[in-house]
Amino acid sequence: MASRRAGEQIILDGRVSVNGQVIRVLGTKVDAEHDKVSVDGRPVGVRKKVYIALHKPVGCVCSHNDELGRPTIYELLPKEWGKVNSVGRLDYNSEGLIFLTNDGQFALRLTHPRYGVRKKYVATVEGEVTGEMLGDFKRGVWHHGEKLQALAGRIVSANRKTSVVELELSEGKNREVRRLFESQNLAVKRLQRVQIGKIKLAELKPGRWRTLNETEIKTLISNI
């Protein structure tokens, strides 16, 4: 219906009624199942909250509209879910698990650094990644004036040409995984996010989605 601030003004303007009585007091509580709320005489319902897990493929963006005309992740969803937003982002060339929701509080609790939600990535890197590099990542490295840090890391495989590395992060800074390797003059060839909190990408195929169940939603929130 409106943002919180705009909603408050709508109430103060006397445009909201509950069970036929005009309400002007901010913070008035209603029972969504039994009370009838109207704005300007029109009934207002409760928006059903939606929680979606999507396997974002390479070659699409996490914006609703892209100035370059590139495909967006929202084109992969049913049209009736047009009002959801991504919880964080994955860049155009990255793939993997991303959540979408119309629950702003849920999104905030999963993205704000103070909650420290862990995210796990698998990166395929050009060149050899060493244990010493991972140690630097966990202690923190500087890149373009910003400190980047991984919570944990392990080398899945490595040789002089290619390395596969698993990293866990919590802050979600822009392109953080790629920039960690850039700080070591290494380029990431493929980047996949495989886990957020306790929710894994598992067998979800690129471009496919599923809804999170109530247990998973509670697990994500309780993990904070």
Please give the model's pTM, rounded to 2 decimal places: 0.82
State whether 39 and 60 are in the same domain: no
State whether 188 and 173 are in the same domain: yes
State whether 177 and 216 are in the same domain: no
Q: Answer yes or no: is pLDDT of 48 > 90.
A: no
> Which residues have a Cβ under 8 Å from the Cβ of 82 and sit 6 or more positions away?
74
**Token output for 155:** 């080398």
Using one digit for the tens of pLDDT, what is the confidence trace for 187-213? 999 999 999 999 999 999 999 999 999
Contact by Cβ (8 Å): 212, 53: yes
Selecting among 13, 40, 66, 91, the annotated active-site residue is 91
Residue located via tokens 């996949």: 192
Using one digit for the tens of pLDDT, what is the confidence trace for 103-124? 988 999 899 888 889 999 999 9
Q: Is-catalytic flag, 103? A: no
Q: Answer yes or no: is pLDDT of 224 > 70.
A: no
Number of domains in the chain: 3
Q: Answer yes or no: is pLDDT of 83 > 70.
A: yes
Alpha carbon 224 to chain centroid, angstroms? 14
Residue located via tokens 């910003």: 146
Tell me the range of 28-37, 65-74, 76-85 where mean pLDDT is highest: 65-74
- Structural domain boundaries enclosing 168: 118-196
Q: Answer yes or no: is pLDDT of 223 > 60.
A: no
State whether 56 and 8 are in the same domain: no
- Cα–Cα distance measured from residue 92 to residue 140, given in angstroms and rounded to the nearest whole number: 26
Query: Could you tell me the CATH number of the domain that includes residue 150?
Result: 3.30.2350.10
- Cα–Cα distance measured from residue 43 to residue 183, given in angstroms and rounded to the nearest whole number: 56
Contact by Cβ (8 Å): 162, 172: no
**Token output for 169:** 């992060």
Q: What is the pLDDT of residue 164?
A: 98
CA angle 94, 182, 132 (to 5 degrees): 110
